[in-house]
Chains A and B, each alone.
Chain A
Amino acid sequence: AQSVAQPEDQVNVAEGNPLTVKCTYSVSGNPYLFWYVQYPNRGLQFLLKYITGDNLVKGSYGFEAEFNKSQTSFHLKKPSALVSDSALYFCAVKRLGNEKLTFGTGTRLTIIP
């Protein structure tokens, strides 16, 4: 079985401050981890992924995520938040050999001007 937890339904950050959106996962074997962003009434857009290699992954729009195997976490980060970063963010996991992607329940990020 595979699962993802996003412990915060809502995260509020002041513009210009660093932001973190948390994600922990559970999967047997090696995980493939993903972050997606969703704007209102739109589909999900890919931000970044971890497959193997460097634990710090850089993605679109200045976002990055750190894979921590011991803590089974894959938190999304950005050094300086923009108002345009306000959206719904989803973490997802699948294990090697499994085609199905399991999503978390999402975290709504609001950047306050």
Chain B
Amino acid sequence: DAGITQSPRHKVTETGTPVTLRCHQTENHRYMYWYRQDPGHGLRLIHYSYGVKDTDKGEVSDGYSVSRSKTEDFLLTLESATSSQTSVYFCAISEPGEDTEAFFGQGTRLTVV
């Protein structure tokens, strides 16, 4: 399995508090991604990074920010968590190219109460 670690794996937080999820890789892949997954919606891209300090928005970026200060870490921050951000969050990594595959982490289950 690709070396991707998401932390924490589970978190319960209160509405209005900031939350940071971490994705750590040991594969030295250039691209990193954050998704959320909710029943009936499949996987939706939040933000992605195509290099250190290079990030871009995905489909559902409102309410989320990201940072990538080094190759191996990609942080997802909810500045002020809301109940609508209760979800399962997945991180993924890949190399650039039309024929490369993405590797996914095990997910973080976040509950905002």
Q: Is B one of A's binding partners?
A: no
